[in-house]
Chains A and B, each alone.
Chain A
């Protein structure tokens, strides 16, 4: 089995000019790797750098040092630290999706359309895409009266379902998920776990941030533990 992600010597700091040049060291010498089809859990206290690491892999944050070598199915190994923006956008469209801790929806787009969006390549796909999206949010237990409502008004748990559905609908090759089960009830949590395991069966590799022991023990093949921006332990389940 091939290595899908290899993070080497990664450093990330924030230099905040507008806060008196304050510098925050968020990640220091981070190294780990993931095999294809593996689910890696990322844990650590709040502020330890988990979301920063995930966003740096997705290139929402720019690394200051190191490499993030991702094995693309279309184009071989791509270093996400230095890849050009266009390449990163292509990968986001075709291979890598990210489920943020917080909802960032486009205003005035309905729940079904938000979820369908990643699989609508041309306008003619829309009807079918909406069907797939509806099936998915139904499975996640989103009440029917919300399907055609605007997610910006939803509760935390409802928004989280939209986020998850949006990230997995395209069956990505590589899924990044930040606290997917944090505000879900036990039943919905199990559904999310099942959906992620389904993806894994189909070959998806998953990097998962979670505080939740139950989610972690049901999903993770390997656990990477962060403390003050450094990896302090890696354990296999």
Chain B
């Protein structure tokens, strides 16, 4: 079994590294969980993440958990091309059959991948939505970028996406600024999945919401995952979100992966000291 599915990944990441400031050969060795910091004592540079490697399989949901500042957003932002990488390779199966490092492609090619093959939902709806467009207009923008130009089809798709994410279709022509936080998040999700991406990043998407609204957004994500089978990376500092949504989990500390495993194993038999601490605070 392992051999037949080894090459089945949608996304493969190798040694992804992001360092802020000028650094030396020793910077990586002088930072990380053993040192208890991501700041290099010699150069003062910040190692936001280092040597991050993993594979994501079709339809799978991978969690990335860790405290604030551990490097979670840095990982997904680099993969979504929001941020330049310092080092590392990433391969996306639907792009040139996974044979080229997407991180070193031209900006034009990166735009193509963002528009056609990926989606991102940010913690702050303002990062994913254009607040001067209506909710329908935001979805239209994404569809236009993914080369759908027929106005009638765009409106049809926008209204079907909004109803899928339980945003009243009557509010399609309203500005998201007048929506509740939970509804803004739903519009952002509609926009992120508008191009039917095989890969979706979700960065702390419920962190700014009331608990009751959080639950509904999580239900929505679970339903979409089931229905559309999109591979997802779910970033959260909250293990209960990870428990509810993910199959596998990476535990991050000071920019490094300290433990990885099946989510139920991470929660019930955590191996690393830091993971044990995280899990005990959940109970």
Contacts and interface: CB of A to CB of B under 8 A. Distances in A.
Interface of A: 14-18, 55, 59-62, 72, 74-76, 78, 83-91, 106-108, 120, 123
A87 B268 contact: no
Nearest to A63: B269
A90 B1 contact: yes
Given A61-B268, A86-B57, A17 B262 contact: no
Given A14-B269, A62-B269, 8 more contacts: A55-B268, A55-B269, A60-B262, A62-B265, A78-B2, A84-B2, A85-B248, A107-B215
A106 B273 contact: no
Interface stretch (B13-21, B112-120, B219-227): B219-227
B5 A60 contact: no
A82 B85 CA distance: 33
B240 to A, nearest CB: 10
B215 A60 contact: no
Report which residue of A60, A72, A89, A107 has the largest number of chain B beta carbons within 10 angstroms of its beta carbon: A60
A87 B1 contact: yes
A86 B269 contact: no
Given A61-B265, A61-B268, A87 B226 contact: no
Nearest to B240: A107
> Which one of A61, A72, A76 has the greatest number of beta carbons of chain B within 10 Å?
A61
Interface string B2-25: 101100000000000000000000
A106 B1 contact: no
B244 A107 contact: yes
Interface residues of B, number: 27
Interface centre among A18, A86, A90, A91 (most CB of B within 10 A): A86
B269 A72 contact: no
A89 B1 contact: no
20 contacts: A16-B276, A17-B276, A17-B277, A18-B280, A60-B264, A60-B268, A62-B261, A72-B1, A78-B1, A78-B2, A83-B1, A83-B2, A86-B57, A87-B1, A89-B60, A89-B247, A91-B1, A107-B244, A108-B219, A120-B226
Contacts of A61: 265, 268-269
Given A86-B57, A107-B215, A18 B273 contact: yes
Contact of A123 (B5, B215, B227): B227
- The CB with the most chain A CB atoms within 10 A, among B215, B222, B269, is that of B269
Closest 6 CB pairs of A and B: A75-B1, A17-B273, A61-B269, A123-B227, A60-B264, A18-B276
A55 B262 CA distance: 12
Contacts of B99: none
Contacts of A16: 276
Contacts of A83: 1-2
Interface string B239-273: 00000100110000000000011101100110101
B24 to A, nearest CB: 32
A91 B262 CA distance: 13
A36 to B, nearest CB: 18
Contacts of A106: 222, 244
B169 to A, nearest CB: 20
Interface in B225-242: 226-227
A62 B269 CA distance: 7
**Centre residue among B5, B219, B265, B271 by max chain A CB count within 10 A:** B265
